[in-house]
Amino acid sequence: MCELCEKYGDNGGRWYLNPENYARPLYKKVEKEKEKEPMILTELQGPFYYKPLIELKDNPEAFEKMREGYLKFHETMSGQVVSLEDAEKMVEIAHPIARIDCICRRITRATLEDGEQRPRSCLGLGVGMFRWEEWPERYKGGVEFLSTEEAKEHIEHWHKRGMVITIMTFGTPYIGGICLCDYPDCLAIRMRLDYGIKPFLLKGHQVAKVNYEECTGCGTCVQRCQFGAIKMEVTTKKSNIDMTRCFGCGVCTYACPQDAISLIDREKLPGLKEEW
Amino acid sequence: MIPQIEIDKNKCPTPYECKKCLQICPQAIFAVAPTKVERFKETAPEDYEVQAVFKDKCVLCMDCVKVCPTGAIKIKVGGR
């Protein structure tokens, strides 16, 4: 079973559909803990993934230290891939919802001051957004409050264009946001795929499977996969999904013109149910 | 083999205004982040810094060195 569901789920349900994980008291708790330590750099942009990597240099020991640092970071922040359906249920639970700049993309591609071109693809959830609003423009990169319907449209818009939907916590299990990510901009995907730091981004509750009867081998899904899990089988002219590599984001299911890919529950597959 | 990538902060005072290296890198190895943050206060443009945080993924294409308008990036491999 998913570790987070076990700890924070509501009677065996998915942890991110438990309304308690969106509640104000949890946020308050995180805020209080943060006030104890003076802020030099923020948790998001600071010591955890910025400084340790600088120290990395050519030193394998430093790299191990970095990994440990990230694993510690996971106690306060973790992510998981979710399907579009689950994300839609999440925005029904959360309030308020605000469109915010992608923090990762601002760090890796410096997209902060692109004016109209600004992607602003992520959603911040919960009371923390009123706090985020107090931060100045350059630092926060904007806050734009949305209705539930607008949030659903927003998620669908990016997801159908190929973005992976992920949850980010702000003091696990408090759910602070829904991110729309792609490789290599997204630091969570990157940390997981390139550096093997698993808790940074857990796989979702589903996995994608190709129906070979319907697959025409057009290759649309191959281009869309952000995790490198789909390949084209040249001789059979069918696309093949490595389900052990699949994160279950569902991007390929929407990309497929034949509707030949479907998401199935990870926990129904004995070989994958412990694979997160 | 991890290359040494040095970015001269004096030659790159306001990275967000330029950001050419961040956007050209095929491996997206750079990151820009504030070095100073005060709660609810704006960080000055001079207080941002670019670092090659994912330098272990650098393929030495030298695009960043070529694109940098002030020559702030220096890449060294091994003893060379």
Mutation site, B21, B40, B58, interface A, largest A CB count within 10 A: B40
Residue A183 Cα, gap to closest chain B Cα (Å) = 10
Chain B: residue whose CA lies nearest to A104: B31
Facing residues of A81 across strands? Answer: A166
- Mark B28-38 as b/e (b = at least 16 C-beta within 10 Å): bbbbbbbbebe
Share of chain B above pLDDT 90, in %: 39
Q: Measured between alpha carbons, how far is A182 from A189 in angstroms, rounded to an integer?
A: 7
pLDDT at A103: 84
Return the axis-axis angle of helices A148-160 and A84-93, rounded to nearest 10°. 160
Residues A178, A170 contacting (CB under 8 angstroms): no
Contact between A53 and B54 using a beta-carbon 8 Å cutoff: yes
| Check whether domain B3-70 has CATH 3.40.210, yes or no | no
Confidence (pLDDT) at A56:
54
pLDDT band at A200 (very low <50, low <70, confident <90, very high): confident
pLDDT of residue A115: 57
- How is residue A95 annotated by DSSP? -
Question: Residue B23 above 50 pLDDT?
Answer: yes
Across A93-116, average pLDDT:
82
The backbone torsions φ and ψ at residue A166, rounded to the nearest 5 degrees and listed phi first, read: -130, 155
- ipTM confidence: 0.90
Residues A74 and A108: their CA atoms lie apart, in Å, by: 20
CB contact under 8 A, A113 and B16: yes
Nearest CA in chain A to B31: A108
**Position A117 confidence tier, pLDDT thresholds 50, 70, 90:** low
**DSSP code for A208:** E
Q: Any idea what DSSP says for residue A13?
A: S
| Chain A: residue whose CA lies nearest to B22 | A109
CB contact under 8 A, A41 and B30: no
Of the candidates B27, B32, B56, which has its C-beta nearest A110's C-beta?
Answer: B32
In whole angstroms, what is the distance from residue A251 CA to residue A208 CA? 9
Beta-carbon separation of B33 and A53 below 8 A? no
Beta-carbon count within 10 A of A36 CB: 6
Instruction: Domain ranges for chain B, please list them.
Output: 3-70
Ordered by where they begin, the domains of chain A are 3-24+38-200 (no CATH), 206-268 (3.30.70.20)
Contact B31 A108 (CB under 8 A): yes
As a whole number, mean pLDDT of residues A118-140 equals 84
A73-97 mean pLDDT: 88
Res A27 pLDDT > 80: no
Per-residue pLDDT at A40: 36
Dihedral, B66, B68, B69, B70 alpha carbons, nearest 10: -110
Tokens of A61: 């020991």
Q: How far apart are CA A225 and CA A81, in angstroms?
A: 13
CA A265 from chain centre, in angstroms, equals 18
| Upstream peptide bond of B3 is cis (omega within 30 degrees of 0) | no
Residue from A137, A193, A139 nearest A166 by CA: A193
**Res B37 pLDDT > 60:** yes
A246 Cβ contact partners less than 8 Å away, ≥ 6 residues apart: A203, A207, A208, A227, A229
The residue to which tokens 């790299």 are assigned: A63
Place of tokens 């060294």: B76
Question: Which pTM value belongs to this model?
Answer: 0.87
Mean pLDDT for A41-63 is 50
**pLDDT value at A106 more than 80:** yes
With vertex at residue A128, the alpha carbon angle to CA A123 and CA A132, rounded to the nearest 5 degrees, is 75
Report the gap between the CA of B70 and the closest CA in chain A (Å).
18
- As a whole number, mean pLDDT of residues A177-191 equals 90
Provide the token pair at A152. 């659903």
Largest CA distance in chain A: 61
- Nearest Cα residue in chain A from B43: A139
Report the gap between the CA of A79 and the closest CA in chain B (Å): 20
Instruction: Give the rounded percent of residues in chain A with a pLDDT score beyond 70.
Output: 80
